[in-house]
Amino acid sequence: MKFDIAIIGGGPGGYTAAEKAAKAGLQVVLFEKEDLGGTCLNRGCMPTKALLHSAETYSILGKAEELGVRTYETDYDFGAMHARKDQVVETLRQGVEKLMKSNKITVVRGQGCIEAPGVVTCDGETYEVNDIIIATGSKVFYPPIPGIDLPGVYNSKDILEGGGHDFDSLVIIGGGVVGVECAALYHCLDCAVTVLEAADHILPFMDKEIAQRLTMILKKRGLDIEAKATVQKIEGEPGNMTVTYVDKKGAEHTVTAQGVLAAAGRKANVDGLFGENFSLEMERGAIVGDVDGRTSVPHVYVIGDAKAKNIQLAHVASAQGENAVAVITGKKPPLDMSVVPSCVYTTPEIASVGLTEENAKANGIVVKSGKYLTGANGKCLIEGTESGYVKLVTDKENGRILGAQLVCPRATDMVGELTLAIQKGLTAADLSEVIHPHPTFSEMLFGAAEGLRPE
């Protein structure tokens, strides 16, 4: 069988690339060995957020009397929560399937294997193509900890697919995005949660001040957060697991819980991707690609989590998929990859884009920052928001916005405005000239910018 382009992997990067290629007039074959939508839709972003919404609703109801609302015998139905999550996932998956069908994309259910440039095989069938885009995503990374493979140690897929697992107590190894979001989810369901992070602080790839603020909030709520924690071993059986770790002072501790969640990160998924006589330049198990996704072999591209040194975010994969198709069809890549927002869906939400003060100073840029606290915002007071802020980082010389960090309600929605501001080279003064409606959370953007407006 002959096609113009083969795309291996049906996650956000893969199905976006497939759609754009089909709309450009190319004959497209898409290989996906599991469900369309990839990790994000089926066992990552979307199920996490669906479950978080249910869990946070239950938690809010427990505090309803503070708002003058009386509730009686509030409880949650774990099975029903997961059933609703499955319904959301299925609806979105069907949307992707309809998108592929409406664009006349051939979807092959199986593992696509690159045998040679322009040749992909799957289940005994051979597909001849002009170009190949690798969008195979990532898989759970397991650190070399004795006992990490024991029953009773779960990964994000285990707790997000199907009926999940309900716990009264849980140890989470890893304080990155997956770790803290799962910590928030289970804590809302009255689970005793301990988070063990090897780095200096949780969310190690985000601004240190954000991490400190979130740590303070989570500890205040009763979660145990241990940074600079080195896990020594895991022992036990499902329902009674013991984790031994060494704290930042060198003291050894043990913590016992019903389950352990391994959330120490993800790595490129290239299992079964290459035939015996085909290879690409690799780095630490991931595929090396340039800014447009070109690999070491002509006409073979890589996007998303399978790409070395890439930001592991669904919206990054989607953007790279669209850009790679543009390059293949001889057009200019439409999306600017230099400014990428990152979000964490805890309560309060966290969002970051561009440079932090620390990044800017490391690059020799003299900065001026402005901060607006949630305590000064009417909408935050109405909703009983925990302490947080909106922070803008600007170039002191010309006032251009270089970065922003948000710890507040709707941070993940508001960061888009700041991404646009950075991308278009706007100054804090420019942002302060925009009228924001009152009362809204978005007024904090105006407040932070107004504080940086030249006199």
Give 223: exposed, middle or buried? Use CB within 10 Å, 0-12, 13-18, 19+: buried
Residues 6 or more apart from 102 whose CB is under 8 A from it?
none
Question: How many Cβ atoms are within 10 Å of 384's Cβ, its own excluded?
Answer: 11
Among candidates 128, 105, 134, 122, which has minimal Cα distance to 27?
105
In three-state form (DSSP H/G/I as H, E/B as E, the rest C), the secondary structure along 219-238 is: HHHCCEEECCCEEEEEEEEC
Read off φ and ψ for residue 116, nearest 5 degrees: -165, 165
3-state secondary structure (DSSP) of residue 288: coil
Residue 271 near residue 294 (C-beta atoms within 8 A): no
Estimate to the nearest angstrom the gap between the alpha carbon of 308 and the chain centroid: 17
- Residue type present at position 357: E
Q: How many helices (H) and strands (E) does the chain have?
A: 13, 25
Complete edge-to-edge strand list for the sheet that includes strand 28-32: 106-109, 28-32, 5-8, 131-134, 300-302
Whether residue 53 lies in the annotated active site: no
Strand partners, 286: 283
Which of 187, 201, 253, 438 is catalytic? The answer is 438
Q: Which residues are catalytic?
A: 438
